[in-house]
Structures are given as structure tokens and as C-alpha cells.
Amino acid sequence: MISIKPSGNFSFTILDSVDSTNNYAMAKAHAGLAKHGDAFFALTQTNGKGQRGKQWQTGQGENIAISIVIDPEPLQQQQQFYLSASIALTCFDFFNKYAGDETKIKWPNDLYWRDRKAGGVLIETVFRGKDWKWAVVGIGININQVKFSNELKNPVSLKQITGKSFDAAELAKELHLLVMKRVTKLTQEPFDILIDLIEEYNQCLYKLNEKVRLRHNNEIIDVVINNVNATGQLLATDTLQKQFNFGEVEFLIGE
């Protein structure tokens, strides 16, 4: 079953069940059947994509599983982190509204409440030569789920935090409009807001100025998180300041 409803000036498609909203949105974009700002929300997602090949599944109406097609022009390939930071900040603003001030962004774009993961972002891109043609922004946020797989180390949902149940589809529509507001600002005035964007991102950064334990090249290191730079590298200090690209380190939370 597919239901298409307006969400602001953009279409919002509700899918009863899909393997991955990112796969669905990407196929639509490649076929020329999706335009900038179109959103695809699944009541059930059976094989959703997470970072590093992980899965993000959601049961009937329990969570937000949404993918949004974005035309990132005039951003360039080397500016991909600005889009990532914008989406992470949107998720932060959205979740913080309902869950409270203990919400943070765990580098690069996971949504955390205290030391528990509430959501994540996966952005898949399409380039033709040097031109950045499309981005499909996939967002998964735990809303009503209270039972999780034992394979997940530290999940949390909005219902567990607040004790309330929510209409996941209505929250997804709200999130969709917040994403498009941020993206419109980013793409219409990119050179005016990039510095402020990174500063805002770092103000919300999980474990900022705190000591954390990371796994790097099969070695455990203790560092203090300094910030994230404009290219998306994590800066941290032990005796010297180090720079890490995404995928190079793993946070060891509670270890």
C-alpha cells in the first residue's frame, strides 16, 4: 500500500512495508520519478541501511524510517560534510524538542540521549563526474519501540524516555519539513552559514571536551574530544592532537 500526502510543498509517501527506504528513494531518483524534497516513509522497514553496513529495522508504525531526496546544488563534492552536519542538527533539534536537553550528536551523525543511541543518519550520494547530482538522506529514529535485539548495545526510544506513545508518521512529517528548512538555508546561502553551521554542530557534540575510549587500528586509546572540523574529521587529543576520518575509530561506550 502506498499513500501520498503533501508535506509543505513536498510530497510525502507512506509505504506500508519496504526493505529499505533509501533503496526505494534512490530507485525513484534514478528513474526520474522523484524530485528535490520528496520523502518516503515506511511503516515497516525490513532491511534498512545503517552506517558500516549495519541494519536498521522497524516494526509496524513503531519508529521513523524515512528517506528524502535532495538536490545539493550548489554544494561541491568536498562540502559533503556540510549536508551531513545540517541533517544531524535537524535530528538533534527535533529529538531535543521531545526528549530534552540530554540529547547530543555523536560524530558523525548519530543521535544520542545520554549514552544511548536514539537514531542515525545514512546519506548516499550520486555524482556524475565532479557534479553532485543527488543525495538520498536516510534517517532512522526510535520512537515507540521498547524491545530491541540483544545485538544492539545501547538503544533507546522516545517512548522509553518520555513514557508516551507517538504517531510516528506525523512525527516523520514534522522532521521532513525541518530537514527541508535546513537544506534550503544551506543551499541558498552556503558561503554565509558554513562557519556558523560547524560551530553549531560542535556545540551539540557528544562527549565534547570529555575523555573517551576509542578503538583505532585494533588499539585502545584514551583521548579528549576537541571538536569536528569543516571536512568532518574528528579532532581529539592524548599527548598530541589527532585527526580521524569516519570509519577509522569506534567509540567504546561504557567499556
Instruction: Report the CATH number at residue 161.
Output: 3.30.930.10
Asked which of 203, 219, 237 is the last residue of a domain, the reply is 203
Note whether 177 and 97 are same-domain residues.
Answer: yes
User: Bigger pLDDT: 101 or 9?
Assistant: 101
Q: What's the chain's average pLDDT? A: 91
Note whether 131 and 175 are same-domain residues.
Answer: yes
Q: pLDDT-derived band of residue 58, with 50, 70 and 90 as boundaries?
A: low
Length of the chain: 255
Question: Residue 244: pLDDT above 60?
Answer: yes
Note whether 227 and 144 are same-domain residues.
Answer: no
Note whether 174 and 52 are same-domain residues.
Answer: yes
Question: Residue 90: pLDDT above 50?
Answer: yes
Question: Residue 56: pLDDT above 70?
Answer: no
Q: If you average pLDDT over residues 117-124, what whole number do you get?
A: 96
Note whether 124 and 146 are same-domain residues.
Answer: yes
Note whether 229 and 131 are same-domain residues.
Answer: no
Range of the domain at 158: 2-203
Question: Residue 53: pLDDT above 60?
Answer: no
Other CB atoms closer than 10 Å to residue 175's CB: what's the count? Answer: 24
Note whether 16 and 65 are same-domain residues.
Answer: yes
- Amino acid found at 52: R
Note whether 135 and 227 are same-domain residues.
Answer: no
Note whether 140 and 220 are same-domain residues.
Answer: no
Note whether 136 and 240 are same-domain residues.
Answer: no
Note whether 10 and 57 are same-domain residues.
Answer: yes
User: Bigger pLDDT: 214 or 153?
Assistant: 214
- The count of structural domains within the chain is 2
Note whether 196 and 238 are same-domain residues.
Answer: no
